[in-house]
Amino acid sequence: MKRVLFLILICFSFISSTYALECSAKEKVKLTSNATKITASYEFKTDENGESYFLITAYNIDENTFLSYTDEYGRIQSLVNLNHVDPSFKDYNTESVFRYQFDIYVTGSEGCVSKVRTFTLIKPKKNPYYVSMDECKFEKMKDYYYCKEWISSDFKVDNETIIKNIRAEFNKTTTVVSVDNSNDKTDLVTFLDLYKQYRLYILIGLGIGIVLDIIYIYLSYKKIKDAEF
């Protein structure tokens, strides 16, 4: 518990002050190896009020370690593992990309503290064209570059070009289906036209076939009766 309180104190006074004792090179090597497993990830969620946010969580932080980072408003923040629970925070900004840089600080022997590693986590944003373009709502468009729900960087082309490309891609896939359907309809129309043209001959042929069947059945029946007598 004393160790945790010490870490919290460092977090609030921050590490850049001369207050903290820097660890030796040998101690840094040991501390760095212990920090290699520390990671962070984000998860998209919705709160009880229906607002969307990113839950950002850090993993594998022990009682000797804390993370320092600067949020989107320029404020320095810290993450500390309390009661063996992975620390996390909420980010309600889903409309802009942000690169979180996490600095890992570890306390060594005799209370020394060192920054041993830095890693980044890119928080994506909701693609505005996924929201505004009806074409992007179709299943066939979900993997198209400009229609993906989440993006990690802004597009490099102008708005007019993006809209034009989305509509062109949508119409291209729709045209293929349309051509196939038109071929099926053409085959059906051709068959109906042939039937109308030769309907009389078809009916005569069917009538003759029915009459011949009746005659065959009658003769077969008569032959059986004659054989009985």
What letter does residue 94 receive in the DSSP assignment?
-
How many percent of the chain have pLDDT more than 70? 73
Residues in the chain: 229
Calculate mean pLDDT across residues 118-140. 93
CATH assignment, 2-126: 2.60.40
Q: How confident is the model at residue 93 (pLDDT cuts 50, 70, 90)?
A: very high
Provide the pairing of β-strand 113-123 with 39-46. unpaired
Pair type for strands 98-107 and 125-126? unpaired
Instruction: Quote the pTM value.
Output: 0.61
The pair of structure tokens assigned to 90 is 């909420």
Over residues 112-126, the mean pLDDT reads 92
Terminal C-alpha separation, the chain: 117
Instruction: Write down the domain spans for the chain.
Output: 2-126, 129-182
Query: Which tokens belong to 217?
Result: 């059945």
Closest to 61 measured CA to CA, from 41, 43, 85:
85
Q: What is the mean pLDDT of the chain?
A: 79
Angle at 179 between CA 142 and CA 138, to 5 degrees: 15
DSSP 152: S
Which residue type, as a one-letter code, is found at position 18? T
Mind listing the pLDDT tens digit for each residue in 190-222?
555 665 666 666 777 777 878 777 776 767 666
What element of type H or E holds 39?
strand 39-46
CA 6 – CA 22 distance, rounded (Å): 15
pLDDT value at 189 more than 70: no
User: What is the Cα–Cα distance from 71 to 198, expressed in whole angstroms?
Assistant: 80
Q: What are the beta bridge partners of residue 179?
A: none
The band of 188, judged by pLDDT with boundaries at 50, 70 and 90, is low
Lowest mean pLDDT: which of 97-101, 118-122, 173-177, 220-224? 173-177
Residue 108's pLDDT is what? Answer: 81
pLDDT digits (tens, 9 = 90+) for 52-72: 999 999 999 988 889 999 998
Predicted pLDDT of residue 196: 62
Please say if the pLDDT value at position 101 is more than 50. yes
* CA separation for the pair 202, 116 (Å, rounded): 90
Encode pLDDT of 19-45 as tens digits. 457 778 888 787 887 788 899 999 999
